[in-house]
Structure 1
């Protein structure tokens, strides 16, 4: 194995999502990687001090995580609260942990304004989706970490076979 895998805590069964739930990912590779000590678990939002549960948040105005990192977009709660600073701190914490522990890959929950890598919600709080990355996924990718969504676990499995 050429590197560890940073993984969203909610995918590992931890009740850390904004709604206080988890979204466990069941796949034989997860068990194998856990046994091999390859998984490094984080909830970026919790690492930045955000509560569970917390109000839903989306990147405003159809923007993406890259826009948040560039300072041209905000992450807003449904209540109107601006949580941009918390999401930026969450991304920085995730990147620091990935670098400290030798993670070359990340397996993150899709749809999240933090961890989404294939799609995120469009900022209207109406359930509308758009292609794009959340803040953490964007920062990890900018740092050269390969990011995969929970829907792409089979791609990550194949990628790791090639990397061995």
Structure 2
């Protein structure tokens, strides 16, 4: 059975920087829970970051690939550099995905860690730009198919196609 790494906030855990959750209510989630497919992680918490914590963004209009490449940092609104924590968070997520056989990930979009379609532009103004967070970028580099919470139907279709291919 194909496993899916999923952002803890999407599963209703109050782990976001603001102490909130962003539960994703979708019939596929309920089915995947029953099937035992989901592996839950909050990358930031796995790296020891507290809840709540100051908002963080990838500086300078960059994204997670830039952070992984060493050309950008993740900074808090307070000015604190949390790049090392976000790098550790990404490594922790990849380790968990590898150890549990996750070939897919379902991550909350917009996060400097889990964003897989967009991230904030680093100005703390709410402006968004296309790109991946640090964890999403590392998972993609490792060959894990990453989907945002806005694209659950695409993940449903991909799982069905992949499982049909392996059943033949």
TM-score bucket of the superposed structures, by smaller chain: over 0.9
1:93-112 CA distance string (max 9 Å, x none): 00000000000000000000
Structure-to-structure mapping, 1:40-119, within 5 angstroms: 40-119=39-118
Q: CA deviation at 1:149?
A: 0.1
1:28-87 CA distance string (max 9 Å, x none): 000100000000000000000000000000000000100000011000000000000000
Q: CA deviation at 1:131?
A: 0.1
Structure 1: tracts of 5 or more residues without a match: none
Q: CA deviation at 1:22?
A: 0.1
Segments of 4+ in structure 1 off by > 2 A?
none
1:6-42 CA distance string (max 9 Å, x none): 0000000000000000000000000100000000000
Q: CA deviation at 1:129?
A: 0.2
Residue 73 of structure 1: SS of its match in structure 2?
coil
Q: CA deviation at 1:132?
A: 0.1
Residues in 1 aligned to 2:69 and 2:60: alpha-carbon distance in whole angstroms:
15
Residues in 2 aligned to 1:160 and 1:42: alpha-carbon distance in whole angstroms:
20
Residues in 2 aligned to 1:163 and 1:126: alpha-carbon distance in whole angstroms:
40
Which residue number corresponds to residue 147 of structure 1? Answer: 146
What is the TM-score with the length of structure 2 in the denominator?
0.96
Which residue number corresponds to residue 29 of structure 1? Answer: 28
Please provide the CA RMSD for this pair: 0.4
What is the TM-score with the length of structure 1 in the denominator?
0.99
Residue 84 of structure 2: SS of its match in structure 1?
helix
Residues in 1 aligned to 2:13 and 2:154: alpha-carbon distance in whole angstroms:
24
Structure 2: tracts of 5 or more residues without a match: 164-168
Residue 126 of structure 1: SS of its match in structure 2?
coil
